[in-house]
C-alpha cells in the first residue's frame, strides 16, 4: 500500500520532470554553441562546457528525485535530500556575499577602468573587446569619450547612420585654440556608463538565479524529507471491528438442558 499522498507525490514528480526538461534544454543549447564556436575561442568554450555540466547535473538530480518519489524508494530519496541540502548551502553561500558586496562592485570596477586610460596603451585584448562593444553600442571611450583613446581614436568610434546629436567632432588644441580634425565625427556617448549598467543588470540576474535555485532546492529538500518520514513511519494496525447489531446468546444456548 502506498504511504505517500498521491497528490503530493504527483506534484513532486511533475516539477522534477519540468526541471529535467530544463536540464535537457541547457545541454542542447550548450552543444549547439559548441559546434558553432572555433576551438581557439577558449574562453567561450569554457562557458559552453559549464552550461552543459549544469544541464547534466539538473537532469540527473531531477530524474533521481522523480524516480525516488514514484517508486517510494527511501534510499534514493535520502540521497536526493542530502544533495538538495548541500546545493542549498552552496547556492546561498555564493549569493549572500555577492548581495552584500554588490554596492562596492561598481565603484571598484570604475576605478579599475580608470587605470586603463589612455586606451591606446592598454592591453591589446581589452582594446579589441572595447572596439567591438563600441561598434555594437554606438559609443566611444570609457568615461571621457574619444579623449580616452589619446591620439589613436579607432574607426569603431566613427559615427555612421545615427542621429546627428549622437555625434561630435574630434578636436585638438593648436596654439591654445580648439580645431576640428578633418571634420571627423565620433560617438559622443562614452561606453563606461553602458558597461556599468550591463554589469549591474548581470549582477541582478545572477542574484535572482542563485536565490531562486537556492529556494527551489530548499523546497525540494523539505518535500523529500516529508516523503522519507511517511515511508519510514510504521503502518498503523486497523482498529478492531465491532458489529453494531451484536446480540448476546440466549441463556438456553449457554447452559444446555439436562
As a three-state string, the secondary structure of the chain is CCCCCHHHHHHHHHHHHHHHHHHHHHHHHHHHHHHHCCCCCHHHHHHHHHHHHHHHHHHHHHHHHHHHHHHCCHHHHHHHHHHHHHHHHHHHHHHHHHHHCHHHHHHHHHHHHHCCCCHHHCCHHHHHHHHHHHHHHCCCCCCCHHHHHCCCCCHHHECCCCCHHHEEEEEEEECCEEEEEEEEEEECCCCHHHHHHHHHHHHHHHHHHHHHHHHHHHHHHHHHHHHHHHHHCCCCCCCCCCCCCCCCCCHHHHCCCC
For residues 53 and 177, membership in a common domain is answered with no
Highest averaged pLDDT of the listed ranges 164-178, 212-226, 233-247: 212-226
For residues 130 and 61, membership in a common domain is answered with no
The more confident residue out of 252 and 118 is: 118
Residue 24 lies inside a defined structural domain of this protein:
yes
Residue 228 lies inside a defined structural domain of this protein:
yes
- pLDDT band per the 50, 70, 90 thresholds, residue 46: confident
Residue 63 lies inside a defined structural domain of this protein:
yes
Integer CA distances (angstroms), 64 to 16, 69, 146, 237, in order: 9, 9, 56, 32
For residues 181 and 147, membership in a common domain is answered with yes
pLDDT for position 37: 62
Helices 42-71, 6-36: crossing angle, 10 deg rounding = 160
Residue 258 lies inside a defined structural domain of this protein:
no
Q: Which domain holds residue 86?
A: 6-101+203-232
Answer whether 95's CB lies under 8 Å from 210's CB: yes
For residues 31 and 78, membership in a common domain is answered with yes
pLDDT for position 238: 63
**Model confidence at 243: pLDDT above 50:** yes
Question: Per residue in 181-210, pLDDT tens?
Answer: 556 788 888 888 888 888 888 888 888 988
* Rounded-to-integer distance, Cα 57 and Cα 41, Å: 25
pTM above 0.75, yes or no: no
Integer CA distances (angstroms), 58 to 16, 34, 66, in order: 9, 19, 12
For residues 122 and 63, membership in a common domain is answered with no
Among 147, 177, 194, give the residue marking a domain's end.
194
Number of domains in the chain: 2
**Model confidence at 82: pLDDT above 90:** yes
* Rounded-to-integer distance, Cα 167 and Cα 185, Å: 6
Report cis status (omega within 30 of 0) of the bond before 118.
yes
- pLDDT band per the 50, 70, 90 thresholds, residue 180: very low
Question: Per residue in 5-17, pLDDT tens?
Answer: 888 888 999 999 9
Amino acid at each position: 500500500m502506498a504511504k505517500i499522498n498521491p497528490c503530493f507525490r504527483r506534484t513532486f514528480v511533475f516539477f522534477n520532470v519540468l526541471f529535467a526538461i530544463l536540464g535537457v534544454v541547457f545541454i542542447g543549447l550548450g552543444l549547439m554553441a559548441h559546434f558553432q564556436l572555433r576551438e581557439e575561442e577558449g574562453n567561450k568554450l569554457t562557458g559552453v562546457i559549464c552550461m552543459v555540466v549544469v544541464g547534466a547535473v539538473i537532469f540527473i538530480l531531477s530524474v533521481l528525485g522523480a524516480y525516488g518519489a514514484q517508486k517510494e524508494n527511501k534510499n534514493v530519496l535520502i540521497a536526493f535530500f542530502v544533495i538538495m541540502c548541500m546545493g542549498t548551502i552552496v547556492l546561498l553561500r555564493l549569493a549572500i556575499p555577492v548581495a552584500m558586496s554588490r554596492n562596492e562592485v561598481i565603484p571598484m570596477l570604475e576605478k579599475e577602468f580608470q587605470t586603463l586610460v589612455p586606451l591606446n596603451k592598454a592591453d591589446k585584448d581589452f582594446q579589441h573587446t572595447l572596439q567591438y562593444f563600441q561598434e555594437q553600442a554606438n559609443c566611444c571611450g570609457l568615461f571621457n569619450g574619444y579623449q580616452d583613446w589619446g591620439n589613436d581614436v579607432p574607426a569603431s568610434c566613427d559615427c555612421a547612420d545615427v542621429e546627428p546629436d549622437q555625434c561630435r567632432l574630434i578636436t585638438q588644441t593648436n596654439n591654445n585654440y580648439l580645431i576640428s580634425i578633418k571634420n571627423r565625427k565620433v560617438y559622443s556617448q562614452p561606453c563606461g556608463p553602458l558597461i556599468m549598467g550591463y554589469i549591474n543588470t548581470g549582477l541582478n540576474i545572477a542574484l535572482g538565479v542563485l536565490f531562486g535555485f537556492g529556494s527551489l532546492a530548499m523546497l525540494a529538500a523539505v518535500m523529500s524529507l516529508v516523503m522519507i518520514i511517511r515511508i519510514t513511519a510504521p503502518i498503523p494496525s486497523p482498529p478492531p471491528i465491532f458489529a453494531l447489531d451484536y446480540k448476546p446468546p440466549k441463556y438456553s444456548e449457554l447452559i444446555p438442558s439436562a
